[in-house]
Amino acid sequence: MLLAGILIAVLVLFAFAIGGRGWQSWTAALTVLFLTWLVHGVASPALFGLLLLLAVALALITGFAPLRRALFAKSLMPLMGRALPRIGETERIALEAGTVWWDAEIFSGMPNWNRLQHFRCQPLSKREQAFMDNQVETLCRMLDDWQIEQDREMPEAVWDYLKRERFFGMVIPEEYGGLGFSEIGHSRVVTRIASRSIAAAVTVMVPNSLGPGELLLHYGTDEQKQRYLPRLADGREVPCFALTGPEAGSDAAATQSTGIVERGMYEGEEVLGMRLTWDKRYITLAPVATLIGLAFRLKDPHGLLGGAEDLGITCALIPRDLPGIEIGRHHDPMGVPFNNGPTVGTDVFVPLDAIIGGREQIGHGWRMLMESLAAGRSISLPALSIGAAQMATRICGAYATVREQFDTPIGRFEGIEEPLARIAGMTYVMSATRTLTCGALDAGERPAVLGSIAKAYLTEGMREVVADAMDIRAGAAIQRGPRNVLSRMWMAIPVGITVEGANILTRSMIIYGQGAIRCHPFVQKLIGAVEEKDEAKLDKALFGYVNFVCTRAMRAFALALTGSRLASAPNGDLKRFFQHLSRFSAAFAFVSDLSMATLGGTLKRREKISGRLADALAWQYMAAAAMKRYLDEPKIASNYDLARWSAATALYRTQEALRGVMENLPNRAASWLARIVVFPLGARFRPPSDGLGRRVARTILEDREARIHLTEDIFVPQGDEPGLGMLEAALDKAVRAIPVETKMRDAVRAGKLERAPGYMLDDLALQAGVISNEEYELLDEAREARNEVVQVDAFDADTYKSLR
């Protein structure tokens, strides 16, 4: 009976852990043991007394703060100081940039699904929808991406239209002459343009992302806003932002670009200003920019400002035409013809009021940049990635239906069906992630960690989707020309992967490194307590941390043993997936804490482990986004299959990421413990089944409405235009011919017709009276359209030699 009481006490511990409670669980377990002794104490009073004594001691130590502080706080202070990572000033600024949102729910080990379920993503306003239907459609019709690639520039008429319709002022409020669009409006405009021309999309997105407009809007003086924002909105000023240099790429804060405070002549007057020297590269729009945003380190060696000599990273606006500026040369980023190039400044003198925000913002440039990137990473490159993914989905869905081999559409072959499922599923989860992240931005959040996830994992998703699309198109995908839209997307992939924080850096250092401190309920408090040498704060944070680790470990173990069924989740079709995500949230919290506890400050240098933890965090977020999308959209079969594919993929990749962490922890005892807690019954999650993959692939092959819905953001050209336009027209004809082709196949199976290829079978069917003249003409139109869209571009010798 005593063993039964102990078992009940353990179950009580687990039950309280499932609910996230800490010292209350010890109190409840102690109560159970005490009641057991009252009833059955005579059975083994000595053993029970020992257990009771241990339980009381543990409850007192963990639940009575004055005793804890007296016993541990003073001795633990130096130990924690050595174990916790040291954070430099630039790291601190980056960590403090933006806000935490759903990422904190994942780190909590107990995500509040009601919060996500009731969150509403802002739809496009009527004005934004009208802009999409009119100005954006007009722009897309003006763009010929193949010709832009050959000319290496956009036509002047396109530049004029972009400026006149204020495409460069989407984020600038209407009071300054901009469009004042929401973040989702901004994102969807870029997505549609990207589906037509990557070069045009990059040209539009840069002034609306990390650049002078964004920085002026949040940090500029009133005078600067009144002077520059209207000119940026209508294109009289074309901006660029010079951050990256030869010596400072990933570590942009290490810039050697400098400004020296001194007096000098500016526009005929002697003023207090800065003499700037810089060397920057990879600067988008630099060759055509009229206004340069510049990040540099400002120094005051002569004490003219009356403070320290090194004033820190500062941002300023520099007119292009000042003496000492070299600008106008071009880089060639993978052949994608958007303006990108270096800029060099030597002894360029500007007044102090060129500093964004004026003198008050001297030394705050790094904070400006980090806070702007926190939002900017969520929009531009994810939008471009979704444009490419949706375009690949639309093209491959049509092509795999129209293109036939062995008298069968290639989409019917399982070898093609497999990448088609990945294309459709990844497009669904990528679009969902974009929508949820922009929804958070429109709600006033600045989710730095989630923005980094959106940038890194959506651009990686673009790489995966376009690679699969290239494989499906096969030979037609590697012949450049007006017909081949995919080739230009393929060339642009490394651009998205690399800029605004290369994905290797973002995955291995930024996402988890920032998330573990910002989103964890206790880590930042621990670091602060040690820095302040506050024993009371250290005690509260440390034992809160210990309690958190213990309860999440018990929660993860209990959910693993019960197949996640004890986790609360929204009722509905996806309830089991929500429950599994709750389990993985607890497992992630425990494995994350175990990694930090055993590796301490060295975790910063164990980038393979932190990269896998970033994978686990990212896929949990993307799964939540996909399921949120399903909850918010009409409950149709195709959406259900896409949401299940997304969730199953995310759960499997989360599992594999956590397994990778546990298998590579240097502390083998910790590794063993983690495997027992997280996977006591083994790693049981698998990728989506073949059957589910088949249904997802059929979504973009056979379900026209689902295919259009999945690719709703892209531009669809006229039917006579090479590429998607002709594919869509051919698809319509092929679909109309399907009943006739089915009739002929039935006739072959019934023995009314002999088996024959292509046009020969059409003739035989007409002669045998199996099909009518009208049906024959329908088949003929479909075959001609098929023949046209499977052709590739070929050039005469002179034209070929002139191709870029």
What does the pLDDT average to over 442-459? Answer: 94
What does the pLDDT average to over 12-41? Answer: 53
Indicate which residues carry an active-site annotation.
500
Residue 62 has pLDDT above 60, yes or no: no
Residue 422 has pLDDT above 60, yes or no: yes
Supply the pLDDT for residue 66.
67
Supply the pLDDT for residue 17.
47
249-287 pLDDT, tens per residue?
666 667 789 999 999 999 889 999 999 999 999 999 999
Between strands 340-351 and 269-284, the pairing is antiparallel
Cα–Cα dist 62/43, whole Å: 29
Supply the pLDDT for residue 77.
65
Handedness of CA 289, 293, 299, 302 (dihedral sign): positive
Supply the pLDDT for residue 679.
97
Which comes out higher in pLDDT, residue 766 or 583? 583
Element containing residue 295 per DSSP (H, E): strand 291-299
Supply the pLDDT for residue 35.
56
Burial class (CB in 10 A: 0-12, 13-18, 19+), 226: exposed
H helices within 41-144, ranges in order?
Answer: 45-63, 65-68, 74-83, 89-96, 102-108, 113-118, 126-131, 137-142
pTM score over 0.85: yes
Q: Do the Cβ atoms of 149 and 156 come closer than 8 Å?
A: no
Cα–Cα dist 377/594, whole Å: 30
Cα–Cα dist 610/601, whole Å: 12
CA angle 572–577–583, rounded 5-degree value: 125
Among the listed residues 171, 180, 266, the one whose alpha carbon sits nearest the alpha carbon of residue 216: 171
Amino acid making up residue 59: A
156-186 pLDDT, tens per residue?
999 999 999 999 999 999 999 999 999 999 9
Instruction: Spell out the residues 6+ positions from residue 478 whose beta carbon is closer than 8 angstroms to its own.
Output: 470, 487
550-574 pLDDT, tens per residue?
888 888 998 999 999 999 999 999 9
Q: What is residue 312's three-state secondary structure?
A: strand
Q: Do the Cβ atoms of 372 and 218 come closer than 8 Å?
A: yes
Supply the pLDDT for residue 633.
92
Q: What is residue 791's three-state secondary structure?
A: coil
Cα–Cα dist 129/349, whole Å: 45
Supply the pLDDT for residue 253.
64
Angstrom distances, CA of residue 305 to CA of 220, 267, 334, 354? 20, 22, 45, 16
Burial class (CB in 10 A: 0-12, 13-18, 19+), 177: middle
Helix, strand and coil content of the chain, in percent to the nearest 5, comes to 65, 10, 25
Angstrom distances, CA of residue 489 to CA of 72, 103, 469? 59, 31, 11
CB atoms within 10 A of CB 133: 10
Hey, what's the torsion of the CAs at 143, 385, 213, 199, to 10 degrees? Answer: -30
Residue 20: which pLDDT band, with cuts at 50, 70 and 90?
very low
Residue 59 has pLDDT above 50, yes or no: yes
638-668 pLDDT, tens per residue?
899 999 999 999 999 999 999 999 999 999 9
Among the listed residues 437, 752, 579, 665, the one whose alpha carbon sits nearest the alpha carbon of residue 110: 579
**In sequence order, what DSSP letters do the residues of 549-579 get, joined into one string?**
HHHHHHHHHHHHHTTTTTS---SSTTHHHHH
**In sequence order, what DSSP letters do the residues of 347-408 get, joined into one string?**
EEEEEGGGBTTGGGGTT-HHHHHHHHHHHHTTTHHHHHHHHHHHHHHHHHHHHHHH-EETTE
Mean pLDDT lowest for which of 343-357, 411-425, 499-513? 499-513
What does the pLDDT average to over 176-203? Answer: 96
Mean pLDDT of the chain: 88
Element containing residue 586 per DSSP (H, E): helix 575-599
Q: Do the Cβ atoms of 539 and 68 come closer than 8 Å?
A: yes
Supply the pLDDT for residue 724.
92
Cα–Cα dist 184/121, whole Å: 9
Residue 450 has pLDDT above 90, yes or no: yes
What does the pLDDT average to over 390-418? Answer: 91
67-101 pLDDT, tens per residue?
666 666 666 666 666 666 666 666 677 667 778 99
Residue 19 has pLDDT above 60, yes or no: no
